[in-house]
Amino acid sequence: MAKLRVHCFSVSLDGYGAGPDQSIDHPLGIGGEQLHKWMFGTRTFNQLFGGGNGSTGIDDAFARRGFDGIGAWILGRNMFGPVRGPWPDESWKGWWGDNPPYHTPVFVLTHHPRAPIAMEGGTTFHFVTDGISSALDQAKAAAGGKDVRVGGGAATIRQYLQAGLVDEMHVAVSPVPLGRGEPLFKDIDLPKLGYATTEHLPTEAATHFVLAKQ
């Protein structure tokens, strides 16, 4: 049966999954980029964005696992862009340029309807206005038997965790505090929801944890 997975979600030492004040200049919030340094140098990341070979090892292995067997994605609206409220026009098409790194159907949670956007490389953004269950149903149908990945942000992951819908979750804890931002596990009782740690591996840049439903 297809699973709902979270991968490569980086959090600060004090539990924030993004910095405050997201904007065009700060897509991950102020200070948020430093949470992802463990991934930026990996072979997987560099191949996705047309760079050089990059490093291999534990960090790269976790980055690569996040794409294996994924047939569709779900994103919160903030992961798609900084635009708030009704869409003012059709000009914003995501942070990633003409060829986003997903290469699958992507379902964006929003309160405001918008027509699908077909991008280069096989990515099509679909905008879902009727909640997380509908987005998951649509993503599973589009995934063709493969798994679905929730890309974030933190609030979207919390909703799926609280509903008990996430089957597996990889969190990379970066050794930096942010002080403020978007907390990942606020009001989440992981043991009560049935989640337990199944893997934990440290590297120089992060400590990787995998949580799964028991």
pLDDT digits (tens, 9 = 90+) for 8-62: 999 999 999 999 988 888 888 899 999 999 999 899 998 887 677 888 999 999 9
Question: Which strands sit side by side in the sheet containing 124-128, from one edge to the other?
Answer: 117-118, 124-128, 105-109, 70-76, 147-152, 4-11, 168-173, 207-213, 195-202
Question: Model confidence at 66, in pLDDT bands (50, 70, 90)?
Answer: very high
Q: What is the mean predicted confidence (pLDDT) over 168-184?
A: 96
Question: Where in the chain are the domains?
Answer: 4-86+93-213
pLDDT digits (tens, 9 = 90+) for 189-198: 999 999 999 9
pLDDT digits (tens, 9 = 90+) for 77-122: 999 998 889 999 989 999 888 999 999 999 999 999 999 999 999 9
pLDDT digits (tens, 9 = 90+) for 144-173: 999 999 999 999 999 999 999 999 999 999
Q: Within 13 A of 113's CA, how many CA atoms are on the CB side?
A: 1
pLDDT for 24 = 86
% of the chain at pLDDT higher than 90: 83
pLDDT for 18 = 93
Q: What is the mean predicted confidence (pLDDT) over 52-75?
A: 94
Check residues 74 and 20 and name the one with the higher pLDDT: 74
Question: Counting Cβ atoms within 10 Å, is residue 52 exposed (0-12), middle (13-18) or buried (19+)?
Answer: exposed
Q: What is the mean predicted confidence (pLDDT) over 172-191?
A: 96
% of the chain at pLDDT higher than 70: 100
pLDDT for 28 = 87
Task: Name 17's Cβ contacts closer than 8 Å, sequence gap at least 6.
Answer: 9, 10, 11, 35, 152, 153, 154, 157, 181, 182, 183, 184
Domain 4-86+93-213 has CATH 3.40.430.10: yes
pLDDT for 214 = 86
